[in-house]
């Protein structure tokens, strides 16, 4: 029998649910405690110092209440700056998500790759290093968006998506001569929720790369190799729960989306 695991997943909102969906698809006995840090949304424009402190405090608060087998920082913006700090500060295994530039380089025929991410992520040194290490012969067109994550939040609450914001987010690719582009990396966990809209509004046929499945597979690897199996037999929570750090005015709007992902309980986290 496979061990039951419990994980803590953190993002600025519902973006990290794209990773939860991939975890569910792997069909393992994993319960998820999810922190949606709406009170600090969006992370995209936040200073590095403030974001590191915020994540440290969220993880610290969560670990005082339960002991998950691993923590997923289900946010590119946060992972690219805070993972090193978090791994040094807490003894629990962390799994992060960073834009899959390496995979894009492996599959791109034209050697022109797009990176669509938050404004914070596209300018990080972490991205320079990923490109230097894994795609040195590629031209990488970086596009930072201020509005897409909010559009994803609207969509999952059934509020519809403003197509003007989708088109505006994609526009910089055209101004940077994207004619040879064959892959666009989704460098924010919110964006896979907008996959259909992005595909419909983009001018050409490209591969949209979502790192959710590889991250979920990495989680399983970490759980199976780095955790203490004896510790996860009975004491871990079996419930799947979402904590919002901001009160949800119309929680019923998001319930169908959360129910589909196996979340039975929603609560407010004062953090
Ligand atoms: N979902 C996050 C990411 O992957 C951040 C979105 C935001 O809060 O700006 O980057």
Mean pLDDT of 123-151: 96
Q: Is the CB of 190 under 6 A from ligand 1?
A: yes
Task: Work out the mean pLDDT of the chain and round it to a whole number.
Answer: 93
The residue among 227 and 93 whose pLDDT is bigger is 93
pLDDT at 174 over 90: no
Looking at the fold, whether 108 and 38 belong to one and the same domain comes out as: no
**What CATH code is carried by the domain that includes residue 128?**
3.40.50.1860
Q: Supply the range of the domain harboring residue 61.
A: 6-97+213-268
Which pLDDT score is estimated for 190? Answer: 98
pTM over 0.85: yes
**Is-catalytic flag, 188?**
yes
Tell me which of 188, 194, 209, 258 is the catalytic residue: 188
| Measured distance CA(53)–CA(64) in Å, rounded | 17
Report the number of distinct structural domains present in the chain. Answer: 2
Strand ranges of the sheet holding 94-96, from the earlier edge strand across to the other edge = 94-96, 70-73, 5-11, 30-36, 241-244, 265-268
Looking at the fold, whether 93 and 218 belong to one and the same domain comes out as: yes
Asked, for residue 252, whether it belongs to a domain, the answer is yes
Looking at the fold, whether 133 and 177 belong to one and the same domain comes out as: yes
| Measured distance CA(61)–CA(232) in Å, rounded | 20
Looking at the fold, whether 91 and 136 belong to one and the same domain comes out as: no
Which pLDDT score is estimated for 239? Answer: 82
C-alpha 1 – ligand 1 centre gap (Å): 36
């Amino acid at each position: 029998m496979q061990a039951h695991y419990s994980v803590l997943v953190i993002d600025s909102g519902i973006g990290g649910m794209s990773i939860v969906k991939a975890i569910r698809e792997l069909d393992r006995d994993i319960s998820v405690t999810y922190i949606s840090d709406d009170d600090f949304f969006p992370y995209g424009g936040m200073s590095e110092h403030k974001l590191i402190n915020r994540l440290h405090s969220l993880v610290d608060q969560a670990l005082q209440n339960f002991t998950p087998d691993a923590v997923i920082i289900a946010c590119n913006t946060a992972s690219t700056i805070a993972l090193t700090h978090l791994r040094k500060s807490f003894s629990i295994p962390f799994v992060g998500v960073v834009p899959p530039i390496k995979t894009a380089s492996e599959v791109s025929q034209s050697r022109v790759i797009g990176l669509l991410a938050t404004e914070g992520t596209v300018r990080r040194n972490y991205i320079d290093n990923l490109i230097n290490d894994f795609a040195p012969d590629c031209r990488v067109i970086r596009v930072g968006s201020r509005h897409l994550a909010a559009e994803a939040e609207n969509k999952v609450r059934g509020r519809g998506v403003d197509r003007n914001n989708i088109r505006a987010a994609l526009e910089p690719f055209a101004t940077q001569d994207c004619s040879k582009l064959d892959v666009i990396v989704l460098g924010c966990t919110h964006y896979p929720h907008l996959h259909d809209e992005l595909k419909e509004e983009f001018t050409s046929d490209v591969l949209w790369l979502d790192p959710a499945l590889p991250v979920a597979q990495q989680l399983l690897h970490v759980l199976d190799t780095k955790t203490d199996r004896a510790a996860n037999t009975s004491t871990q929570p079996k419930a799947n729960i979402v904590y919002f750090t901001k009160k949800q005015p119309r929680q019923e709007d998001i319930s169908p989306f959360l129910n589909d992902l196996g979340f039975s309980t929603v609560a407010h986290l004062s953090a």
